[in-house]
Structure 1
Amino acid sequence: MKFSLLFWCITIQWLIAIPRVFSRCLGVDLSLSVHPEGMISVPYGQPLEILCSDDRYTADNLQFENGGEPIPSIKVNTTTRRLSMENHKKGVFTYYCRNTVTNKVCASRVVVDSAPLDVTDFACKSQNLDVINCTWSNPGFSATNYTFSSLVSDNYEDICTTERSGRARYCTWNTSGQPRYRQHEKEFFFYITFCNVFGCNEQNFTINHFAIVKPDPPKNLKVLGNGTHSVILQWSIPNNMFDFLPNGVDHKIEYQIAKIDKTSYFRKVDTSGLPAKNGTYKFQLSDLPYAHMQYEVRIYIRPKEADKDEFWSDFTYLVFYTASERPQRPPDTVVGAFEQSSFVTTRRIYVYWKQLEEYEEAGANFTYKVVTHQGTENTKRLLADNKKSLSYIVLDNASLGAINVEIWSINDKGSSFNKSHLYIPPNIDTLALRVPSFTKLGYENGTHKLSWVSINTVDNYTVFWCQHNTAKICSGRINFTVLEANKTNHVIDLPRENRYQFAISANVGSKTSGMVWTTCDISKDDIPMYRFPVELHHGIPGKSFVTIAWDMACTLQEGIITGYNITYWPVINTSNVCDTSFTNSSVYVSDPKQMEINITDLNPNTTYVFALTLNTTYGLKVIENALTEITTTEDTPTGPRNVNIAKDEAISWDSPLKKNGIIRKSDVIYNYTEEYSFNNGSVLRRSFKIEEHIRMNV
């Protein structure tokens, strides 16, 4: 009630002075003005009152706005309007008085607030006991002044100047301040006084000093000695942590294995045995799983009194290698893990195995040692060439008889303790077990469906796979699985970003076919299909037609092949050079069971090349080797063109439009009784008497 009476007393005085006051808006001559001028501070719970007047227009031409929208106001007199709002919420607002005729506006900034409320998020952090920073948020909307002091020698002294960043406030106290930051104090007692235009407040805060310290990282980290599965580490902690923390620090040690662990993953180490208060530490990091491997170790510290993760120091780190040792095992191999090419008296054999993982190599200069025993022949020793591949070795001029193969892993520390064995049967035994048809269907999601024609009386099958290459050699890592004898198909899911090739072996006891690659490989990609088992044939060609036939040695699920596209084009003089005067032609066979078609409307005596493309559920698939070539037979040429008989008895003519073969002679028949033969040419001359009729044949 007192505030309202006071406001109206001021208002009456102000209305008396209208000619003088209303000539300015925030110091600018606009004729339009508001009262009170400048920032209007309204205690929370009190009404907001703003007057607006224009000494050149009436009150009907004025309106108050907020956020671009008109708000209700009261007409005070002919030139003045009043905005009155009860129970206004806290905050900072802008209200506008607009002259609707001139569109001029005059703004009022309003802050509705109370005396400062208590700070609710006061927090402090000391960085390595060199500097302490305390932060909090301004609890109101008004400009607030802070005085920050601490109990020093039984007296409260101002220790820093409060700074601001948005709504945040902070105060920094360091060892060069006056008074000096007390690094050894167990507790701090802080006193804050803060005031705004509505009043003042004060608060006390007690801080457990050593519980809010974030140390600097440990320093001087190094390896004193390394073994095959452990290292001895040494480091020291910052001097302030050793000198001032009465209970010392906790440690956190973690490590990561290069090329094994994800970059975000670190393995934890038990550090409970480390003393809390040492200046320098030694620690044996043991149970490291791999020899000759790169590791990264990280070490953090935190005061014993601290219990929040934010007070762990940043880490110090070190990259090191463990010492080398001989490989712990040989490579895995499996029955049938070889591919061969047979000749009259010898064979060439690729011997495969599954490589060790890189972390198992355990030393430098890693490779594989292979020893072969071939009947009475001398034992042969070979090393895999790591410049080519560590997945296989080649036995050139190998015996057609049985061969025993032994394989070790080896590095500069020696060979693996054990060896793997592979038996290669006599050549005649391998040929009898070869799977006649092996098909792969590759799907877009990385699924591969394998199917094959079964063989009677086998014990099992081995399926092999590796990344694809056109040479059908597994130069990268090879994998395999053994399947039961009654299976004729297998589904496997592999990473979709790579293309894979597959092989199979049929096994009976110690006998095996060795690896047989897929003969039918259909995948969802645009890569041309090599060695696809399709043959293109042709019948005896006629003058303008030929029958094209094809056959495939594939066992495919019905619906995979949806049709065939036959493309053909003429070439020049039985070469492989396309005749550019003609365009390519094609014919589509929509019935996947139809295996031949008659091609018509060909030109006589013309060489054509025919190519077959498969239309599959994945689209058209180009087959590199599906080509055949034919030449149509000759036909009667068309007649000579532009025949001319001159008065000087010269006869001339042009060649036929379509020769349809080789023109060997041209005949001129004179008077239907006498015939003259000429070598082929465009103009021939002959002296004879011109009669009524001349007939010419070519």
Structure 2
Amino acid sequence: MTAKCILLVVFWLCSLDAILALGWIFPKEPIYCEENESFRLQCMLDMTVANGSNSSNLMFYRADEVVPRDQVKILNETTIELTVDHAVPSQDYIYVCKLNGTIGIDLRSVYIGHKPQPIKDFRCRAPSWKQMNCTFTPDPNGISTQYELNFKMEPVLANYSCKLQQVPNSPLKQCIITIGYGYRVVTEIYRFILSATNKLGTQVQEFEINNFDVVVPEQPTHCSIVNSTITSHSAVLEWGVHNKYENFKRSLRFEVKLLSMFHNQQWQLMDTANIHHSKNNYQMLLSQLSFADTQYDVRIRTRTNSTVEDDDMWSNYTSCLFKTLSRQPDNPPDVADGIFENANDHLFLYWRELHEWQHNARSGFYYNITKLGPSGQIIEHFNRTRGMIQMRNIENQNFTFIIHSANGEGLSAKSSVIFVPSKQYRPEKPEVDKLLSDSGKFTLSWKRPSSRSSNPITSYTVFWCNTTSNSPNDCHGSINFTTVAANRTSFELSGAGSTLNFAVAANNGILSSGMVWAACTATHKTDIGKLKTLWITEMLATYINLKWKPECGDVAHTGYLIFYCPISSPRTLGCKEPEMSINVTDKSLYYTRLDNLKPYVTYKIEIAMYSETHIGPRSEPLVNTTREAAPSPPRNLVLRKVTNDSITLSWKAPEHINSGKMSYEIRYNNDTLRYHVEDPNSDVVTTVPGLNAFTIYNISVRALTIGYSNASEQLTVRTRVGQPEKVAQLSSTVNGDSNLVISWRKPSDMAGCVEFYELKLGTGKTVIYQNKRRANECQLSADKCKYANINSYVVSVRAANVISNDSKFEDLSCEERWSELQNRWPNLAAQSTECDGGGKDNQASDITKDGFELVFGPWSEPLSSWCTKEDNFSLKSVISMVMLIAICLTLIFYCFKMKHICQVKVIIPDGLNDKSSSGKPDILGSGGRIIFIDQSSNHASSIGSLKKEIYGKEQNQCLLQSSSSSGCGESVGDLSGHDQRSSLEYFSNGGAFEDDSTSFYDQEAERQDLHGFSDEPSDMIDSQMDSAEGGVPDFEANGENRSPDSPIVSEVKPKPSTTALPLTVTSGYVPAPVAVNPTRAPVSSSGYLQLSTLVNGGGMMSSDVFSKSANAKIAATPISGYVTHKQLSAYGQHLN
């Protein structure tokens, strides 16, 4: 199958070629032509397939470009001819003949070149005497040339062929002859035959190579220094070569060079004339080494001593290191006349420092200065490492200073001398006039001292040094100097440093005025010196007042340029914003103000003087920081998060902080919150807590430094819905339909819209209904009281807010929120007015779906409502009104009758006078409580008023009670035995006690006969009674814990008792019926009942006795204490 496909493709290509063959180019073979010769090409059109075209439609193209029209001519209807004269070599000589410029007819290649040329750089090398490498550069030719190399050796005449290879990344061709493939190390002469052939001809060359002359030896086998020969200026070097060169027929040449740290990377070639060797070992003395205590790097290489001088004949280097020994310095420092400065009592000495290579030691170098007095005595010695010394408190006399160079090896053999004459012997100082610099040439001018001086000037010494400070006499590095003739007053210097200080001294023999420094510093590229004195006179947050003082008044400047900019750090002094400048055109003006500065920003200030043609160097930078100011407003205040009680904000620091420390004030409505930051430039994210739920807050932020910034853009935010507060106390009213309407107010803090209220309707512990509603009132139908076992209803209400996960819903207003809820649940608005929702809960429970949730507040205080059992509520009202009128009439009727009864005066028998007041109650309180009067107290008026008040209340009760009631005539025992229930409970079954035919006296007599009371009193009370009940009322048990300072009136509430204890009557008085403890109670010999017994037995009547007495008529007037039988009979007859 594959073979068939191939045959098909070949057949299709042949058919396509036949179809596209519209003509031919003659000649049909490529053309090879020598340079500057001519060639021709003809293009013929096949008329049988031309379809109406002819030779006028043909044209030659070279590299898709039309050949010049003058090189083409039409020979006939089918043929055109191209003629090219003086052909030149080219890489793209491919010609195409096209029909109508688009259809190719045929193409032909043309090669332009020359015959092979002789090779000029054929050479051979024998590296390490192991093989021979021969190379040459082929002649560039437009016509491809083939090379063939053969060689033969003498005396053997056999021919060898050497395969040529292209050298990688090089135009060279090479032939490598190895041992076993024609190379013989002992053969001296090799003859090479090189043939070059191309289409135009052949070139044959012969080369003779001497094998021994082209040997490239290996590098020396070792290199070392003989340690015992090392001195501070010399050493002996040893090295060796390979053993195979011991019998080599050529000698070897060597190159030795060395380098130290002071040679400025320039290798120093050593003289090899004094090399000594023994067999393969060589030795050479390295002498006249310039630098002591210095490490040297020695390099050695070798080559065959032949006539071939090419650099590739050298071997690689072998190296070794050694270090010379140290020695004392060879020379002292150079000095000059007048190389001192005497200002007041300070003396500065200078000298030209030695170069480091002159120290002759890598460490421990110093200068030794010896101070001699006027008579040559040694005063003191000084050691310094720099080329200057300062001495204080110098006397005005002649001094001589001797200076040596020194190191660890000792002092220099020679010394330098500086003579400082006393001031009266010094020549007058010259005055520096100008210091100019132009195009790298410095010019210092000075004025001659006055001619009246007795010391004529014999010469001047000019000094200069590099400087990096504002001090005019400070040198960074060594000082330099030169001597100027006495008739000159100027000095020019070229090729020196970029920033220089200059000084001049006037000399008279060995006497000198000392140095006078130029106040200005001169620099290259300017004729203006550096201004050195500038200062700030006033600075605030937005401006700086600046002053300066030019030291050289004669400097040819015309104005000042003040450059200033804010910087990032005083260490780097780099401007962080574009530099600004102020031009002061008046040269006599020495102050200016820098306005529109930024607060709390460090500025760099520089001043440069300028002339009409040049701008001088800038002064040393003056750096200072403007004062603080209020910042710009905080930027990009953004709301991050909102909850029901907090808001999270973020903002960027102000664009201009204007201070080193800063805080923020967050304003939200009428409240503020202070926020402190450590890094004023950092962005802030913080939370404002303690907010009210569902409240709109207007929030802005101010930054604070020494003052407040303007407020940021304001954000208006509403906090999320929260938990509402408790609903206030519920209220109830009865509407026209006799239904109970329960209403309530909204919570004081709704924390939302309070879409719903949840109402809980229950009876005691049982919840009947609990439903949600929107209105803030509902009604409780009277029918609800018809249910069995329901006496009352308890109603509680709590508010409910709706929250949602949907932020869009949370941003709606209350009306919009309710509308949204109604849209989702249309039945929310259809609510019953009944408190129980008509027996059904409403649709509010559905909102807890779909991402909504109810947030409930606390329950309100419960509201209770009592039910009635009458079936006809209207009939009950009528009956109630009739009964009320009847009671009122009865009370009015008995009012007059009871008036006399209440005025009955009680006469106390003589037997009661011996009873202490502490043993009997003073006042009988309501509900059976006994009130004691403290006799020791002096509050008599209070006691009297209290008694009147209590007795008045009893009389009023007598008037209000009906004739069937006997409450006003109860004795102490009856009052104390009553159950502490309200009057409503007594009258709940008809409103009065039932009548009983048995009188009080009959009951009393029956009790005495029944229990068999004796006439003898009992003197003991059962111990159990004493321990359990006690003879004194327990005030703490009744919640009335009294202190000694408590009021004088104390109420004692009687404790409950069971059966009344029978009492013995011997005095002829009948005690008022009392209920006493079943235990025995003591009775005094006089027949009176002890008060303690009355108190302990008060209220302790048994349930059957109480029931009997409650159903009987109470036949007693409001009397108390003990009464006679006669008084009781009279009282009973009065009632009848």
TM range (shorter): 0.5 to 0.7
How far apart are 1:315 and its partner, in Å? Answer: 3.8
Please tell me whether residue 480 in structure 1 is matched to residue 472 in structure 2: no
Alpha-carbon distance change, 454 to 41 in structure 1, aligned in 2, over 3 angstroms: same
The superposition leaves residues 268-311 of structure 1 with CA deviations (integer Å, 9 ceiling, x where unpaired) of 43323436995231111112233233444433322111332322
1:638 aligns with none
Does the CA contact (< 8 Å) of 1:22 and 1:53 recur in 2?
Answer: no
Does the CA contact (< 8 Å) of 2:292 and 2:325 recur in 1?
Answer: yes
Alpha-carbon distance change, 249 to 164 in structure 1, aligned in 2, over 3 angstroms: closer
1:490 aligns with 491
1:283 aligns with 284
Query: Amino acid of the residue matched to residue 248 of structure 1?
Result: S
1:407 aligns with 403
Q: Counterparts of 2:277 and 2:507 in 1: how far apart (Å)?
A: 65
Show the 5 A alignment for 1:75-224: 75=74, 78-83=77-82, 94-99=93-98, 101-105=100-104, 106-112=106-112, 116-139=116-139, 140-152=141-153, 153-163=156-166, 168=171, 170-175=173-178, 178-197=180-199, 200-224=202-226
Larger Cα-atom Rg: 2
Does the CA contact (< 8 Å) of 1:217 and 1:316 recur in 2?
Answer: yes
Does the CA contact (< 8 Å) of 1:326 and 1:413 recur in 2?
Answer: yes
The superposition leaves residues 438-466 of structure 1 with CA deviations (integer Å, 9 ceiling, x where unpaired) of 53222242323332343432332222111
Q: Counterparts of 2:551 and 2:529 in 1: how far apart (Å)?
A: 20
Q: Counterparts of 1:312 and 1:438 in 2: how far apart (Å)?
A: 63
2:353 aligns with 355
How far apart are 1:44 and its partner, in Å? Answer: 8.6
Query: Amino acid of the residue matched to residue 55 of structure 2?
Result: A
Q: Counterparts of 1:194 and 1:334 in 2: how far apart (Å)?
A: 77
Does the CA contact (< 8 Å) of 2:441 and 2:492 recur in 1?
Answer: no
How far apart are 1:501 and its partner, in Å? Answer: 0.3
1:398 aligned counterpart, secondary structure: coil
Please tell me whether residue 433 in structure 1 is matched to residue 431 in structure 2: no
The superposition leaves residues 576-608 of structure 1 with CA deviations (integer Å, 9 ceiling, x where unpaired) of xxxxxxxx999855xx8xx799x9xxxxxxxxx
How far apart are 1:483 and its partner, in Å? Answer: 2.3
How far apart are 1:218 and its partner, in Å? Answer: 3.1
Q: Counterparts of 2:562 and 2:57 in 1: how far apart (Å)?
A: 87
How far apart are 1:81 and its partner, in Å? Answer: 3.0
Please tell me whether residue 309 in structure 1 is matched to residue 310 in structure 2: yes
Alpha-carbon distance change, 54 to 138 in structure 1, aligned in 2, over 3 angstroms: farther
The superposition leaves residues 411-449 of structure 1 with CA deviations (integer Å, 9 ceiling, x where unpaired) of 11111012111122224545x733344532222423233
Query: Amino acid of the residue matched to residue 486 of structure 1?
Result: N
1:60 aligned counterpart, secondary structure: helix
1:210 aligned counterpart, secondary structure: coil
Alpha-carbon distance change, 183 to 622 in structure 1, aligned in 2, over 3 angstroms: closer
Taking structure 2 as the reference length, the TM-score comes to 0.43
How far apart are 1:54 and its partner, in Å? Answer: 4.2
Number of residue pairs the alignment of both structures matches = 544
Alpha-carbon distance change, 22 to 501 in structure 1, aligned in 2, over 3 angstroms: farther
254, 262, 278: which is aligned to 1:251? 254
Does the CA contact (< 8 Å) of 1:257 and 1:296 recur in 2?
Answer: yes
Q: Counterparts of 1:52 and 1:552 in 2: how far apart (Å)?
A: 91
Query: Amino acid of the residue matched to residue 465 of structure 2?
Result: C
The superposition leaves residues 322-364 of structure 1 with CA deviations (integer Å, 9 ceiling, x where unpaired) of 221111121111222222332xxxx232221111222221123
Q: Counterparts of 1:101 and 1:564 in 2: how far apart (Å)?
A: 78
1:40 aligns with 31
Show the 5 A alignment for 1:22-37: 24=17, 29=20, 31=22, 33-37=24-28
Does the CA contact (< 8 Å) of 1:391 and 1:474 recur in 2?
Answer: no
How far apart are 1:158 and its partner, in Å? Answer: 1.8
Q: Counterparts of 2:531 and 2:34 in 1: how far apart (Å)?
A: 85
Does the CA contact (< 8 Å) of 2:340 and 2:514 recur in 1?
Answer: yes
Alpha-carbon distance change, 438 to 339 in structure 1, aligned in 2, over 3 angstroms: farther
Larger strand percent: 1
1:230 aligns with 234
How far apart are 1:188 and its partner, in Å? Answer: 0.9
The superposition leaves residues 29-53 of structure 1 with CA deviations (integer Å, 9 ceiling, x where unpaired) of 5746534556434589997453323
1:211 aligned counterpart, secondary structure: coil
Does the CA contact (< 8 Å) of 1:52 and 1:97 recur in 2?
Answer: no
414, 421, 426: which is aligned to 1:418? 414
2:390 aligns with 394
Alpha-carbon distance change, 32 to 360 in structure 1, aligned in 2, over 3 angstroms: farther
Query: Amino acid of the residue matched to residue 175 of structure 1?
Result: T
2:1060 aligns with none
Alpha-carbon distance change, 101 to 173 in structure 1, aligned in 2, over 3 angstroms: same
* Structure 1 residue runs without a partner (length 5+): 1-19, 537-549, 568-583, 600-610, 626-698
Q: Percent identity?
A: 22
Query: Amino acid of the residue matched to residue 464 of structure 2?
Result: W
How far apart are 1:369 and its partner, in Å? Answer: 0.7
Query: Amino acid of the residue matched to residue 341 of structure 1?
Result: A
Alpha-carbon distance change, 620 to 209 in structure 1, aligned in 2, over 3 angstroms: closer
The superposition leaves residues 614-661 of structure 1 with CA deviations (integer Å, 9 ceiling, x where unpaired) of 653434788899xxxxxxxxxxxxxxxxxxxxxxxxxxxxxxxxxxxx
Q: Counterparts of 1:565 and 1:415 in 2: how far apart (Å)?
A: 52
Query: Amino acid of the residue matched to residue 213 of structure 1?
Result: V
1:650 aligns with none
Q: Counterparts of 2:584 and 2:163 in 1: how far apart (Å)?
A: 91
Q: Counterparts of 2:583 and 2:123 in 1: how far apart (Å)?
A: 81
Q: Counterparts of 2:488 and 2:398 in 1: how far apart (Å)?
A: 28
Q: Counterparts of 2:306 and 2:134 in 1: how far apart (Å)?
A: 18
How far apart are 1:245 and its partner, in Å? Answer: 3.6
Q: Counterparts of 1:175 and 1:490 in 2: how far apart (Å)?
A: 73
2:60 aligns with 64
Alpha-carbon distance change, 324 to 303 in structure 1, aligned in 2, over 3 angstroms: same
Alpha-carbon distance change, 59 to 433 in structure 1, aligned in 2, over 3 angstroms: same
How far apart are 1:554 and its partner, in Å? Answer: 5.5
Does the CA contact (< 8 Å) of 2:442 and 2:493 recur in 1?
Answer: yes
Larger helix percent: 2
Show the 5 A alignment for 1:458-469: 458-468=457-467, 469=469
Does the CA contact (< 8 Å) of 2:238 and 2:284 recur in 1?
Answer: yes
Higher mean alpha-carbon deviation, 111-120 vs 411-420, is at 111-120
Taking structure 1 as the reference length, the TM-score comes to 0.67
Q: Counterparts of 1:528 and 1:484 in 2: how far apart (Å)?
A: 28
2:1106 aligns with none
Q: Counterparts of 1:34 and 1:277 in 2: how far apart (Å)?
A: 79
Alpha-carbon distance change, 551 to 216 in structure 1, aligned in 2, over 3 angstroms: closer
Q: Counterparts of 2:235 and 2:447 in 1: how far apart (Å)?
A: 53
Q: Counterparts of 2:395 and 2:491 in 1: how far apart (Å)?
A: 34
Q: Counterparts of 2:138 and 2:111 in 1: how far apart (Å)?
A: 15
Does the CA contact (< 8 Å) of 1:144 and 1:196 recur in 2?
Answer: yes
Please tell me whether residue 52 in structure 1 is matched to residue 75 in structure 2: no
Query: Amino acid of the residue matched to residue 249 of structure 2?
Result: P
Q: Counterparts of 1:38 and 1:392 in 2: how far apart (Å)?
A: 92
Show the 5 A alignment for 1:549-560: 556=554, 560=556
2:392 aligned counterpart, secondary structure: strand
Q: Counterparts of 2:240 and 2:582 in 1: how far apart (Å)?
A: 82
Q: Counterparts of 2:296 and 2:93 in 1: how far apart (Å)?
A: 61
1:298 aligned counterpart, secondary structure: strand
How far apart are 1:613 and its partner, in Å? Answer: 8.6
* Structure 2 residue runs without a partner (length 5+): 1-12, 538-547, 564-580, 593-605, 622-1136
